[in-house]
Amino acid sequence: MSLPSGIFQESYGQDMAILRTKQQWIWLLIFLAVLFTMPLYSSDKIMTLATMMGISVISVLGLNILTGYCGQISLGHAGFMAVGGYVSAMLTANLGWPFWAALPCAGLAAGLVGILFGLPSLKIKGFYLIMATVAAQFIVIWLILQFRGFTGGTDGLAVPRPELFGYVIKTKGAYFLLVMIIACLATFFAKNLVRTRVGRAFIAIRDNDLAAEVMGVNLLSYKLLAFFIGCVYAGVAGSLLVHYFAFADINMFPFGDSVWYLAMLIVGGMGSTTGAIFGVITLKLLDEAMILAGPALAAAFPAIAAQAAASLSLIMRGLVIVIFLIFEPRGLVHRWELIKAYFKRWPFSV
Amino acid sequence: MKIDKNVRLSIKNLSLSFGGVNALSDVSLEIKDGEILAIIGPNGAGKTALLNCINGFYKPQKGEIYFNGKRVTRMRPDKLAKLGIGRTFQNIELYTGLSTQDNIMAARHVLMKQNFITGAIYFGWARQEEIQHRRIVEEIIDFLEIQSIRKQVVGALPYGMRKRVELGRALALEPQILLLDEPMAGMNLEEKEDIARFIIDVYEGQGETYPDTPVLKNGIKNIILIEHDMGVVMDIADRVVVLDFGHKIAEGTPAEVKANKKVIKAYLGE
């Protein structure tokens, strides 16, 4: 169905490959080359934006596994990021662990907390599960505030910057490279996971949980596994976020972000690794555009300047979600597939 | 309990009720090795409820189910699948977002060994296993003659094709016993003939035509079939069990059942 035109497979291994032609390999290498040389010719502002995008991509890839593939909608993803962020912050700041040891621990801790809040998923579905995951968000933040002796509470916690063989990663470009390496690995793992046994079990649960159980999928363990994997991604993203600012603060993990991550999935296309990346890039760029448009709008309509500057971004965010749900519920990735199909069949496409 | 080696599945005094409604009352039956058993009966007789008890969907209040001499009553469906009970559904229950090939591949779940870590790494172990199971899936696709829809998402397929994909998915589980819930419902004569042929071919086994797939090579020697089309039942079933209002009212060869007064009464009234 999505084969490049005129390409024939001669083995099942070839048929299952994601990259099938030389051109695809070349495009990938060009993309990676551009991506990893970006610090050489990009301003700090672009580096900041791209780093934030990278961190969000990691987080949304996790949410995509949990929500897009396994069908367990979570509105507590920023809360799970907070678990990762604070575990990493406490390990490095309070116990003096190196970043490289704290990062996997952050992922693991968030994953375990994810399993805990995933437990209701066997009994409750849909709307009610969403409420349970919202609880995760608020409970995590509440706990961080309660244990101020370890977490710094509302004061936050200063976090050391990561070090690599004695070199402190403190320039924006260097941190960008760190985030992008992890984001590429995260994409690689996510893409492979969903096309093999475990991923098919997740999709089976999403599409028809009763049939999945009859076909031998243990619903509880696979739902919990989806929570675990999704939250490991969130934890890693949280850790990277905290170390980027060299500071951990509860305001870095607001409930609004949890909603916004879900919006990124909707805009990009649920149940697609490419879609998750598209969604993050599109909505992050929208945010930036709104920041630029705010002052211009305020100048044009001085009477509502104060309100406009404060609410423009929120209004646009809501509008984008509504527009996508109505006109392109399958997300940008669907559009992307159509465009690819058009050029594949050209000049026979209409 | 005396275990008869030839009895694959035995159901003893099974009763199932929903509130005040008795879906099944005191139903007992056995399926022996090497037979196609048909369950027939008017609408609401409890045929699907019986199948749902066998594969763990419903938890019967009374009675026991033994599979290969082992007590499996009230076991979870996924454990029963692992033991070797496969089924299709009356209303097709496929994974609508997956392609035909992936739907069938998804049924290989219990037979595959990779976990989420090897799956995420993909290259090496997981890839090897995927290829090995893909070969089997392709044989099932060949057998069911659905090569042309291999890569199509099943949600968009026509009814008859989806029925076939579902049969393929049940086969891919490599069950010892296959439960088919109205596999021919809503089909025209030609489609019914196709499905009947698949059932008989599965039962008989296809030998070296499908060398990599044990289930096609050796066949499935125990099939329970719910079907309304009497012509089909008379042709392919070795034995028929008749249910009416949750009671077993008759059991025997198709010819015996056909002549049974109670059965005629259940179907046609007084």
Q: pLDDT tens across B47-80, in order? A: 999 999 999 999 999 999 999 999 999 999 999 9
Q: In the predicted model, is pLDDT for residue A247 greater than 60?
A: yes
Sort out which chain A residues have CB atoms less than 8 A from B112's CB and list them: 197
pLDDT tens figures, A128-179: 999 999 999 999 999 999 999 999 889 999 999 998 888 888 899 999 999 9
The answer to whether B195 and B231 are in contact (CB under 8 A) is: no
Q: How much is the average pLDDT of B198-210?
A: 94
The answer to whether A160 and A35 are in contact (CB under 8 A) is: no
Average pLDDT value for chain B:
93
Give dist(CA A57, CA A280) in Å, integer: 6
In this prediction, residue A46 has a pLDDT band, given cuts at 50, 70 and 90, of: very high
CATH 1.10.260 for domain A43-345: no
Structure tokens at B92: 């097709």
Please state the ipTM of this predicted complex.
Answer: 0.94
pLDDT > 70 fraction of chain A, expressed in percent and rounded: 98
**Which pLDDT belongs to residue B2?**
52
In this prediction, residue A314 has a pLDDT band, given cuts at 50, 70 and 90, of: confident
Q: Nearest-CA residue of chain A relative to B155?
A: A207
Q: Nearest-CA residue of chain B relative to A200?
A: B106
Q: How many CA atoms lie within 13 A of A10 on its CB side?
A: 0
**Which pLDDT belongs to residue A240?**
97
**Which pLDDT belongs to residue B4?**
67
Average pLDDT value for chain A:
92
Q: Which amino acid is at B98?
A: L
**Which pLDDT belongs to residue A341?**
85
Buried b or exposed e, range A87-100, using 16+ CB within 10 angstroms: bbbbbbbeeebebe
The C-alpha angle with vertex B159 and arms to B157 and B164, in degrees rounded to 5, equals: 85
User: Which region among A25-29, A235-239, B41-45, B100-104 has the lowest average model confidence (pLDDT)?
Assistant: B41-45
B137 has which bridge partners? none
Q: How many CA atoms lie within 13 A of A249 on its CB side?
A: 8
In this prediction, residue A4 has a pLDDT band, given cuts at 50, 70 and 90, of: low
**Which pLDDT belongs to residue B126?**
95
E-only strand ranges, chain A: 157-158, 163-164, 167-168, 247-248
Sort out which chain B residues have CB atoms less than 8 A from A195's CB and list them: 122
Give dist(CA A229, CA A223) in Å, integer: 10
Give dist(CA A67, CA A130) in Å, integer: 11
User: Which region among A12-26, A241-255, B108-122 has the lowest average model confidence (pLDDT)?
Assistant: A12-26
pLDDT tens figures, A197-212: 999 999 999 999 999 9
Chain-chain contact of B98 with A207 (C-beta, under 8 angstroms): yes
Q: In the predicted model, is pLDDT for residue B5 greater than 90?
A: no
Chain-chain contact of B81 with A212 (C-beta, under 8 angstroms): no
Give the phi and the psi of residue B22 in degrees, each rounded to 5: -90, 105
Q: Element (H or E) spanning A270, and its range?
A: none
Of B87, B99, B102, the CB nearest to A214: B87
pTM: 0.94
Of B87, B94, B119, the CB nearest to A198: B119
Q: In the predicted model, is pLDDT for residue A308 greater than 80?
A: no
Residue B173 contacts A where some CB pair is shorter than 8 Å: yes
Helix locations, A301-350, DSSP H: 305-327, 332-345
B213: helix, coil or strand?
Answer: coil
Q: Nearest-CA residue of chain B relative to A193?
A: B120
Min Cα–Cα distance to chain B from A180, Å: 18
